[in-house]
Structure 1
């Protein structure tokens, strides 16, 4: 499949460039501005003394800035209060994507002393993560009609074991979404929106690529609902409850006679939740109020388990979490997991999970969830830290002092250093916002403010991460790094000379006349040593 820009280029080639009436065959083809790997590197534009300076996300930039700072005898404790780059290296990758961690490690720590549940009631209500199910269907049928039948068979398999209620729960995809920031990183080129016109329409061969577009997933959920209302599904829904969510609404499908399917909107389950993770807990609480003593949540997402462990006191039913693969699945008793750890740790799980990395927040590089969880278990102060989402990462009282201490004592650089106070504050705001959304999962329509001002911002009508509020480096350091001296450096037109400062090893100077006396002595001494060796 071609992107719109590729289609325009092909159309131009066929209708204009290869048309003998308009352009000669021997005329040169116009140069296209194709993106290269270097275009993926994030940049940040800042103004220094009236001039615009572009800072690229280059890992060598950190070392170059330090060379300049040391040569100019700048206060290193002040210099290290800046990230020395357009991105906080300890929280983000070079291309601007979130630093990742293994979320499942936290689940492994929680259930390490808990055996898998064996006696799961057959009449339990089932909550199904819809998109996870659709992505794991295996071989995709030829047509959308066959796809609807296969998805229905897999989703309603629990009916055969005695269950009378199954909830098919999907995500929502609002325009300004905190998860869209991460989804946009994974969207591939060449994806087009596919409208399902009829039942015999062919399913796309690249299924996961098709599901990577939000509009396709929304259209698919609407199509499945309309298809499952057909009489062909009435026998399987006889005296059974099948709750199907689509966008913000929820429709109950059932059959009283096994011949026709009735569809009824469920007002109690109309919600503004964006994530299926929180929506699954809302449906579980609804099933508990309807008299179901046990609820099974089927999802591969660790977020759902963490939410269930934290919020299960608000749900009167016993909650079981089904996870794993088709051949190796297991059930986790959520109440048993909660009983195995202290109450304070359970209350801190949402903050711990959001702070140490999830789908919407970045992880700390080289600092996994196991490290934070162990601190949370051993030291009570760390439990209070995660409840309030405040990070204590050093014996010092300031994270900037911690950066200077690690740099001067241990020689740490780049992503080995913690983020600056400014970048950490942005990260904590994002984690606090995400935890606040999670803690309201049992409310159908929680009052949630806009993410703007909580670590995100609107840029070109798109919600993006706001990694920092301050400049990447001090102003003087930015000017010096962008010095373009090449020869002599005796003219006032040269950047370093114009600023009244000596050149450094970071400048591309040849036969430079603008070095300090100490630099000249070091250069001369190095040269004499070499001559002595020969």
Structure 2
């Protein structure tokens, strides 16, 4: 539903709803409801018709271009090149081509969920998330680069490797997991297998994990039967912790050649084959997520002489961290690659190329940009993609200074940062706006553009807490991504609040609407409020939220 609402927000003002009405596809009320995704099935059908129509029109236009080119004696361009050329010279073509790509990405995402296809799911998220603007800065290749060290995101590997016909945990390990590890080590001299670490209290990801479901807690033993529902089993954090520990024990028993090395995390300890005398760079560690812990292992691999490293992941956060590491260790690093997808959909992204293309300022500001616009622990702005945020950053480069201030692990929010970021968020929601106050923009968008509440920017109070959480994640946690045991301030000073043993986001310091506002009604009267005025019918006075701005 969120993806459909985002598309609806993108299509606002394009006369898409009116076109559906003119084509007798939907009534005016139904067509307008598609913009808000009020009914998921109907909205999806509307977008399916739109995607099919845009695809037909695009190929018809290309067919006409091909005929004209051949009749003039010219060699026609390939379809992809032609589309890119048309997008560069025609904003209208670019808008609808982007719409088509967005529609297709959403359908791919829905299909991946229906088919429980994890590789397709990863590809869909990559299309919808930050990878698109970053991939444009580096060559994307499909052939595996030559590296000496590979670092595996353990949870991502388990999600990717389905049990198949395995009946017990031992069979899964022997027939599925271990062969994969051996194949990855075959052409490299070092393999690091890194797992998430599950905290019993004080986890920043507790809310996210709770939303994924709890599942039934199971025992994980050598002869224990595999659960019939693998995804449900993995939705329980205790189950995953037991499974990861079990698989670590299995991997560490592998007999490897003298020239090879295995490095495996097991809860908060690190195991190596052959045994290493000094693992001070790796353990003890207190990283909760494999994302940051993989950077610890990458830094250690560099110190051990590995200049070409590959990281296997599915998380965009890792791309951001890898690009930062490539810049930080450029003197001892030749190549740092990331690989996504499986089979024919697998691709490799050069983090070192992205680091060079970004430039020093934007490079240091990138983690803060990523956190503010949405990451694992910080919410995103509904209906506004990373791509849109990236374009806003390019249009408002002044925000870079604010990003850099938060990247320097501040003890509190620096002066002036909030107002600069507030202007950035205003432009993200309305590129033509001249105001600098999100509260004022909320009022304008709600009263004049009939935006639904979920598509309004946050209040200034909510935005301040959001920025604090982003600064904590990007400046404090990611800023120490290569240090095994990090020292962090209390998250309660940075937009979080204790709820029992768990941490929850402090969404705002304002009182809840339900407690402070008994009626939230506004009218759409343009001039004088008559008998049809919604406020009058409810025996309420018009307010500034009304189209009449409180007049009668």
Q: Are residues 1:308 and 2:347 paired?
A: no
Moved more, 379-388 or 283-292: 379-388
Task: Tell me if structure 2 keeps the 8 A contact 1:252–1:265.
Answer: no
CA shift, 1:464, in A, is 1.6
Q: In the comparison of the two structures, how many residue pairs are matched?
A: 377
Task: Tell me if structure 2 keeps the 8 A contact 1:323–1:329.
Answer: yes
d(CA) in 2 for partners of 1:124 and 1:184? 38
d(CA) in 2 for partners of 1:195 and 1:309? 39
Task: Tell me if structure 1 keeps the 8 A contact 2:311–2:338.
Answer: yes
d(CA) in 1 for partners of 2:472 and 2:540? 50
The answer for the alignment partner of 1:464 in structure 2 is 504
CA shift, 1:200, in A, is 2.0
Task: Tell me if structure 2 keeps the 8 A contact 1:348–1:383.
Answer: yes
Task: Tell me if structure 2 keeps the 8 A contact 1:251–1:266.
Answer: no
Q: Which of residues 396, 401, 405 is equivalent to 2:435?
A: 396
Larger RCO (CA under 8 A, 6+ residues apart) = 1
The answer for the alignment partner of 1:221 in structure 2 is 244
Q: Deviations over 1:250-283 (max 9, x none)?
A: 11023xxxxxxx5878332111111111111110
**1:375/1:344 CA distance change after superposition, 3 Å:** farther
Q: Deviations over 1:275-316 (max 9, x none)?
A: 111111110110000011111001111111111112322233
Q: 1:359-398 maps to which residues of 2 (within 5 A)?
A: 359-388=376-405, 390-392=421-423, 393-394=425-426, 395-398=434-437
Task: Tell me if structure 1 keeps the 8 A contact 2:367–2:474.
Answer: yes
Q: CA RMSD in A?
A: 2.9
The answer for the alignment partner of 1:426 in structure 2 is 465
Q: Which of residues 214, 219, 232 is equivalent to 1:209?
A: 232
The answer for the alignment partner of 1:156 in structure 2 is 182
Task: Tell me if structure 1 keeps the 8 A contact 2:263–2:273.
Answer: yes
**1:263/1:466 CA distance change after superposition, 3 Å:** same
d(CA) in 1 for partners of 2:140 and 2:370? 23
**1:388/1:405 CA distance change after superposition, 3 Å:** farther
Q: Are residues 1:445 and 2:445 paired?
A: no
d(CA) in 1 for partners of 2:308 and 2:450? 55
User: For the pair shown, which has the larger CA radius of gyration, 1 or 2?
Assistant: 1
Q: 1:127-526 maps to which residues of 2 (within 5 A)?
A: 127-140=151-164, 141-149=166-174, 150-161=176-187, 163-174=188-199, 175-188=201-214, 191-197=215-221, 199-230=222-253, 233-234=254-255, 236-254=256-274, 266-270=279-283, 271-315=285-329, 316-317=332-333, 318-388=335-405, 390-392=421-423, 393-394=425-426, 395-436=434-475, 437-473=477-513, 477-478=517-518
Unaligned ranges ≥5, structure 2: 1-123, 407-420, 427-433, 522-533, 543-552
Task: Tell me if structure 1 keeps the 8 A contact 2:362–2:400.
Answer: yes
**1:473/1:212 CA distance change after superposition, 3 Å:** closer
Aligned to 1:370, the other structure's residue is in SS state helix
d(CA) in 2 for partners of 1:341 and 1:228? 38
Task: Tell me if structure 2 keeps the 8 A contact 1:128–1:155.
Answer: no
CA shift, 1:121, in A, is 5.4
CA shift, 1:506, in A, is 7.7
Task: Tell me if structure 2 keeps the 8 A contact 1:282–1:444.
Answer: yes
d(CA) in 1 for partners of 2:242 and 2:450? 53
CA shift, 1:475, in A, is 6.8
CA shift, 1:516, in A, is 8.6
Aligned to 2:140, the other structure's residue is in SS state coil
Structure 1 or 2: more helix by fraction: 2
d(CA) in 2 for partners of 1:203 and 1:281? 32
**1:331/1:423 CA distance change after superposition, 3 Å:** same
**1:246/1:381 CA distance change after superposition, 3 Å:** same
CA shift, 1:237, in A, is 4.7
d(CA) in 1 for partners of 2:394 and 2:535? 49
**1:481/1:321 CA distance change after superposition, 3 Å:** closer
Task: Tell me if structure 2 keeps the 8 A contact 1:320–1:332.
Answer: yes
Aligned to 1:268, the other structure's residue is in SS state coil
User: What is the TM-score when the length of structure 1 is the normalising length?
Assistant: 0.65
d(CA) in 2 for partners of 1:369 and 1:130? 26
Q: Deviations over 1:178-199 (max 9, x none)?
A: 11111101114xx2222224x2
Q: Deviations over 1:100-122 (max 9, x none)?
A: x9565321111125323478654
Unaligned ranges ≥5, structure 1: 1-100, 255-261, 483-502, 508-514, 519-534
Task: Tell me if structure 1 keeps the 8 A contact 2:216–2:232.
Answer: no
Moved more, 403-412 or 367-376: 403-412
The answer for the alignment partner of 1:28 in structure 2 is none
